[in-house]
Copies of this chain bind each other. A is one copy, B any other.
Amino acid sequence: MKKTLMLCLLFPSIVTFGQQNLVKYVKPIIGTQKMGHTFPGATVPFGSVQLSPDTDTLSYELNGKYNGDVYKYCAGYKYEDKNIVGFSHTHFSGTGHSDLGDFLIMPTQGKLQMNPGTAADPKSGFRSVYSHDNEVVEAGYYKVKLDDDNIVAELTASKRVGMHQYTFPKSDQSHIILDLMSGIYNYDDKNVWTYVRVVNDTLVTGYRQTNGWARTRTVYFAMTFSKPFKGYGQKNFDKKQVYGGFWRKFDQNNNFPEIAGKRIRMHFDFATTENEKVKIKFAISPVSQDNALENLRSETPGWDFEKVKAQAQAEWNKELNKINIGASEDDKVNFYTSMYHAFINPTTYGDVNGQYKGLDQNVHTADGFTNYTTFSLWDTYRALHPFFNIVQPSRNNDMVKSMMAHYDQSALKMLPVWSHYANDNWCMSGYHSVSVVADAIIKGVYNGDPEKALEACIVTSNHRDYEGIGKYIDLGYIPAELSGTSVSNVLEYAYDDWAIAQIAKKLNKTSVYEEYTKRSQNWKNVYDERIGFMRPKMADGTFKKDFDTKSTHGQGFIEGNTWNYSFFVPQDPNALIELMGGKTRFAKRLDTLFTMHLPDEFFADTEDITREGIIGGYVHGNEPAHHVAYLYNWAGQPWKTQERVRMILKMQYKSTPDGLGGNDDCGQMSAWYMFSSLGFYPVSPGSDEYSLGSPAVKSATLSLEGGKTFQVEAINQSAKNVYVQKVLLNGSPVTNQTIKHADIVNGGKLTFYMSAKPKK
């Protein structure tokens, strides 16, 4: 960090008056090992470009066919890997499925290698070995030495532009590879088409079109070099070359400026002096080459790498300063890295001129809002969007508007399930966008037309052809014969329906409120009182005979077992408690969940979490039970919420590369961390209430958009003092373990008095 602080004297300061330097607590390397699926590269908050090293992409070319291991490479980078293939411009942060990795760039020297080579024999291709000792990983900045050719690579970014700075040794044969074939989760036929136009000796434009997790996705680019290349060329790996007299008339492989094909790599050649820096600015657009060029020119007009880096870090610092915590240095690292991960996505999806490609594949202009994509809603409706409603309300308002635009452009007439670059990849279950819409409306964040939003929620929730919704409406449950996830679907729909009811209530739509309140009780239809668990029900109304409460496989649930899912009634814990035999029995069940032994054979099924992502039978590395620790509050044992929350904070989040017990899931895990560290959590988004836990910070000041502040203070805070003796809101006792959204956004102070002993 020393270098950064020195640079502040010369460049736009990262830290402005009244701000702390919080960028220094961000360690993007956290989560890059094992199952966190985060990436270490450079991005600005909610940026379109997320420029990061890929340590392998396991493209079809290397192994001939789909390699299941590609799941590891959701973020392109695995801390465990020994070499870097190149630096690509788009990445998911913490997802459980992979895509993106567009436009891989790699600097090399010496004999031209147009193949990435293999991990086993890195010298066989343009990839390079590297060492973590030579890596600098910061918010908005990444640096590494590429040992093969002794080239230092540095990356930074603005919102839509990635900036590269490569320091070369002296050579007449320095190269920049632009690999248009490479991508994350590549397989044969994923690359639909690429086009490259070499406009002049410093400017290249084009596009890449893929058929991956997003069925039909095109990213346009404009790329400029700080120094004219002396020559360039392509290698086309298409199995079949395009017909055309064209091919005979030119040497298409060298210095030919109009390239098209499915599988193309380009090289740009330079002579470099010792330590000469060659810089690249690489802009992307979802709309056109022209827009990419406009993005490039308006966001990064000059060639001053340090300035772009300083601007990126200043942007981060501004966002991070929205919450100032008092905590140990290690907790600060966890907290601000969580905040960093929470602010990576959703991603800005549109150009500086407001244009973006819509779900209908037409070009639209975002009128009065910033358009976003990368909505991993099954994860993020739980805590990330509620977190935004406190510290990023303007952005969350725009996110809801983006969802409404998605709905307007949807021929199916559905709000997004997993919005992905002008596509819906329909990943996971539920129609949880309605939760995000409801939470934003209930909390006064959404300033669009709420009637129209309600209509979109209603239409979406009545899509009879989608995942059993028709049966759910007709029968109140989904027959297990029809779906492998019939129970979790019902539980999630019931919660979502409750969220819709809350909008209707606010808008005085009584009949809608009543209808959806009734639907929201459908969870009761899959509760088997005899065994006390949620359980698949057959078309004839009987419960499925063979049933295993510990397994996550084939039991009617998506990414979870009934031990975790049976607590999924966030909209009405009291009714659940009653059905489960009252508070005491319910609390005991929670105790069992946190202490039981979940054999490896069941754990193996959950796939995207490490053994460490589990506490007893409680799976924190996946989302369905994220609210469960807070349910002790309803069971009359708030001290156990406090105890469990602190335990989870400590066990599940560590400031090391392998510090995350499961996928960060586009910020959901991080949002859980921040809420719980601050001492409260939104158990049921769409409600204006937060359930209290046990703060891990000593103090926190939330600087809200309107200028007000909300303070949290934990008196007698320590690692042992996890129990709350009393809570004061603006000096008045809080006795129901609950605060309201208004309590926060109106400004004020929440004081926890901590102790090592539970207050029973």
Partner of A245, one of B410, B411, B426: B426
Cβ A213 vs Cβ B288 within 8 A: no
Task: Give the distance in Å from the alpha carbon of A240 to the alpha carbon of B212 in the complex.
Answer: 12
Please encode chain A, from 208 to 219, with 1 for each CB lying within 8 Å of some chain B CB and 0 for all others.
010111011000
- A427 contacts partner chain B, Cβ-Cβ < 8 Å: yes
In angstroms, Cα B189 to Cα A465, docked, is: 33
A428 to B199, CA, bound (A): 26
Mark out the residues of chain A between 188 and 212 whose CB falls within 8 Å of any chain B CB in the assembled complex. 188-189, 192-193, 195, 197-199, 205, 207, 209, 211-212
Cβ distance A21 to chain B, nearest Cβ, rounded Å: 42
In this complex, which of A258, A425, A428 has the most chain B Cβ atoms within 10 angstroms of its Cβ? A258
In the complex, which residue of chain B has the Cβ closest to the Cβ of A218? B193
The CA of A195 and the CA of B357, in the complex, are separated in Å by: 14
| Chain B residues positioned under 8 Å from A250 (CB to CB) | 426, 465-466
- In the complex, whether A290 has a CB less than 8 A from a CB of chain B is yes
Residues in B whose Cβ lies below 8 Å from that of A197:
360-361, 411
Answer yes or no: A289 CB below 8 A from chain B CBs.
yes
Partner of A249, one of B244, B261, B426: B426
B411 touches A199 (CB 8 A): yes
Task: Check A245–B425 contact: CB distance below 8 A.
Answer: yes
Nearest-Cβ distance from residue A579 to partner chain B, whole angstroms: 30
Q: Are A211 and B193 in contact (CB under 8 A)?
A: yes
Residue of B nearest to A244 (CB): B425
- Choose one: B260, B410, B425; the contact of A246 (CB below 8 Å): B425
Check if A251 is an interface residue, CB within 8 A of chain B: yes
Q: How far is the CA of A215 from the CA of B245 in the complex (A)?
A: 11
Judge if A408 is at the interface, Cβ distance under 8 Å. Answer: no
For the complex formed, measure the closest distance between the CB of A492 and the CB atoms of chain B, giving whole angstroms. Answer: 14
Say whether A242 faces chain B, with CB atoms less than 8 Å apart. Answer: yes
Contact B193 A260 (CB under 8 A): no
Q: In chain B, what residue has the closest Cβ to A246?
A: B426
Decide yes or no whether A748 CB sits under 8 A from chain B: no
A245 touches B428 (CB 8 A): yes
Interface size class of A (residues with CB under 8 A): 35 or more
A286-318 contact mask (Cβ, 8 Å, vs B): 1 or 0 = 001110000000000000000000000000000
Query: In the bound complex, do residue B240 and residue A189 qualify as a contact, i.e. CB atoms below 8 Å apart?
Result: yes
Contact check, A215 vs B246: say whether CB atoms are below 8 A apart: yes
Q: Is A361 within 8 A of B243, CB to CB?
A: no
In the complex, the answer to whether B363 meets A213 with C-beta atoms within 8 Å is no
Tell me, yes or no, whether A664 is within 8 Å of chain B by CB.
Answer: no
Distance from A649 Cβ to chain B, minimum over Cβ atoms (Å): 32
Residue A747 is within 8 A (CB to CB) of chain B in the complex: no
Question: Which residues of B are found within 8 Å of A256, using beta-carbon distances?
Answer: 412
A204 CB, min distance to chain B CBs, angstroms? 10
Contact of A258 among B198, B207, B251, B411 (CB under 8 A): B411
* A135 adjacent to chain B (CB < 8 Å): no
With both chains docked as a complex, state the minimum distance between the C-beta of A216 and any C-beta of chain B, in angstroms.
Answer: 4
CB distance from A220 to the nearest CB of B (A): 9
| Chain B residues near A149 (CB-CB < 8 A) | none
| Contact yes or no, A260 B211, CB < 8 A | yes
Contact at A257–B412, with CB atoms within 8 Å? yes
Report A247-301 residues with CB < 8 Å from chain B CB: 249-251, 255-258, 260-261, 288-290
Question: Can you report 26 residue pairs joining A to B where beta carbons are below 8 Å apart?
Answer: A192-B192, A193-B193, A193-B209, A195-B361, A197-B361, A207-B361, A211-B242, A211-B260, A213-B243, A215-B242, A215-B246, A215-B260, A244-B425, A245-B425, A245-B426, A245-B427, A246-B426, A249-B426, A250-B465, A250-B466, A257-B411, A258-B359, A258-B410, A258-B411, A289-B362, A290-B362
Q: Which residues of A contact B (CB under 8 A)?
A: 188-189, 192-193, 195, 197-199, 205, 207, 209, 211-213, 215-216, 240, 242-246, 249-251, 255-258, 260-261, 288-290, 359-363, 410-412, 424-428, 465-467
